[in-house]
Structure 1
Amino acid sequence: MTFVQLIDCRTNRFEEMDRLLDQWVEQTRGRRTATHAVVGKDRTDTSHLVEIVEFPSYEEAVRNARLPETDRIFREMSALCQGTPTVTDLDVVRDARLNGDTARRFFEVATASDDLSPLTGLVEEDYHDHDPSNEQDVHGLDRLRRELDTWRAGFDFTFRVEDRIAQADRVCTRWSWDGIHKGDFLGLPATGNRVTMTGATILRFSTEGKIAEGWWQYDRLGLMAQLGAVEPAGR
């Protein structure tokens, strides 16, 4: 279970504290178990700071606390504070990565929905799509639907998510794709061939939480070789 520590303190010497945090990051490289750290400053009281530190588990947080550098830096940070910092230990019981959930739903709709109408709630109307296999970028939700309909008419296919990473307004999905060539695709009549691809997609989200832009990388040349349209590489 993911574990989070909240470190709450007051200080007017944030620049010095920030340098101490940089020292800790450098000195514990390769040994620390913290995976994510955020420092927030109270808008109504700029001396009030909260650091949020994430760990894979409580046990990993204990290991991190036992590092000599952690103990030393915490004592030096405490000396910069007005009073002793407080530490709150939290087991994470809900972790809603909202953009990641929307990215997951996008791939589900592209694959399994009877129609693409659910995209209206997921994708901005002025969506901008970058696909190096296309001569021009796709602009607009309607164009995206037509692009997806081309694939859906040509193949029965599924995506399998291999990795998904969410950061700020972007979500990157590394995927595997399996399909059966059932209909015309780019002028190629159905072959019945079972085909596979791997690729990655980066989606950028708007402030409203909808997909605003997408970048696709995948092996279309390998796909066309499996359909018999080009010679396989190496021949």
Structure 2
Amino acid sequence: MAFVQVIDCRTQRVDELNKLMDNWVEATKGKRTATHSIVGQDRSDSAHVVEIVEFPSYEEAMKNSNLPETDRIYRELVALCEGEPSFTDLDVVRDEQLNKTVVRSFFESINKRDLDAVEALCTRGYREHDPSLSSYDLDIQQSKAENGEILRAFQPRLTLDSLTAEGDTVCVRLSYAGKHQAAYQGIEATGRDIKGTGHATFRCEGGKIAESWWNWDDLGMMRQLGVIEG
């Protein structure tokens, strides 16, 4: 179970506190067990600073606390603060990364062949960038038309092998498998099975997908169709 530690303090020396955090990251390189750290400053009280540190588990957090470098940084932290910092230890019982959720729904809708649902997950100004399509800058209607041809031709099943999210961006590693059952870009149906891999990057905005970039193994697919020898 993931574990989060919240450190709450008051200080007028925020710049020095930031430098101290940089020092901690450098000093514990290769040793620390923390996976994510956020420092926030209260907008209504600039002396109120909160640090949120995430660990894979409580046990890993304790390993991190026992590092001599962590003890030294803590003593320096206390010296920067107005009084003793407070600590809150939290076991994570729910962790939803909402941009990941909308991207998963995007792929679920594609596998259901529901392109209207795909459109509903995208912003009005959605742009799609895919070198395998007619243009590297398609709007949602052009995307639906061209991707609809691909879905009819191959009836593919897309599998999400991994998702990584940071800020407004979600990166996806995926694989696909299908059968060439209808014409595609002038190539009549061959009845051949196809499979391959791809990567996609999504930019989210207001809970919807605003932009996407795609890369597929098109050469490998053409070889599987017998269009290119190799």
Fold agreement, TM-score > 0.5: yes
What are the within-5 Å matches in structure 2 for residues 1-235 of structure 1? 1-113=1-113, 115-206=114-205, 208-232=206-230
Unaligned ranges ≥5, structure 1:
none
Distance in structure 1 (CA, Å) of the matches to 2:135 and 2:198: 20
Q: Which moved more, 1:3-12 or 1:180-189?
A: 180-189
Q: CA offsets, 1:60-108, max 9 Å, x none?
A: 1111111111111011011100110011000111111000000011011
SS of 1:178's partner is strand
SS of 2:155's partner is strand
Distance in structure 1 (CA, Å) of the matches to 2:141 and 2:38: 39
Distance in structure 1 (CA, Å) of the matches to 2:189 and 2:132: 20
Q: CA offsets, 1:127-173, max 9 Å, x none?
A: 11111223522432111111220111111211111111001110000
Distance in structure 1 (CA, Å) of the matches to 2:225 and 2:189: 9
Scaled by the length of structure 2, the TM-score of the pair is 0.97
Unaligned ranges ≥5, structure 2:
none
Distance in structure 2 (CA, Å) of the matches to 1:82 and 1:194: 68
After TM superposition, give the deviation of residue 224 of structure 1 in Å.
0.8
SS of 1:174's partner is strand
Given residue 204 of structure 2, which amino acid in structure 1 is its aligned partner?
Answer: F
Question: How big is the alpha-carbon RMSD for the aligned residues of Structure 1 and Structure 2?
Answer: 1.1
Q: Is the 8 A contact 2:133 2:146 kept in 1?
A: no
SS of 1:143's partner is helix
Given residue 148 of structure 2, which amino acid in structure 1 is its aligned partner?
Answer: D
Scaled by the length of structure 1, the TM-score of the pair is 0.95
Q: Is the 8 A contact 1:138 1:144 kept in 2?
A: no
Given residue 202 of structure 2, which amino acid in structure 1 is its aligned partner?
Answer: L
SS of 2:148's partner is helix
Distance in structure 2 (CA, Å) of the matches to 1:228 and 1:39: 56
Distance in structure 1 (CA, Å) of the matches to 2:116 and 2:129: 21
Given residue 43 of structure 2, which amino acid in structure 1 is its aligned partner?
Answer: R
Given residue 95 of structure 1, which amino acid in structure 2 is its aligned partner?
Answer: D
Q: CA offsets, 1:157-192, max 9 Å, x none?
A: 111111110011100000111111111111112122
Q: Is the 8 A contact 2:5 2:88 kept in 1?
A: yes
Q: Is the 8 A contact 2:3 2:61 kept in 1?
A: yes
Q: Is the 8 A contact 2:4 2:90 kept in 1?
A: yes
Distance in structure 2 (CA, Å) of the matches to 1:218 and 1:108: 19
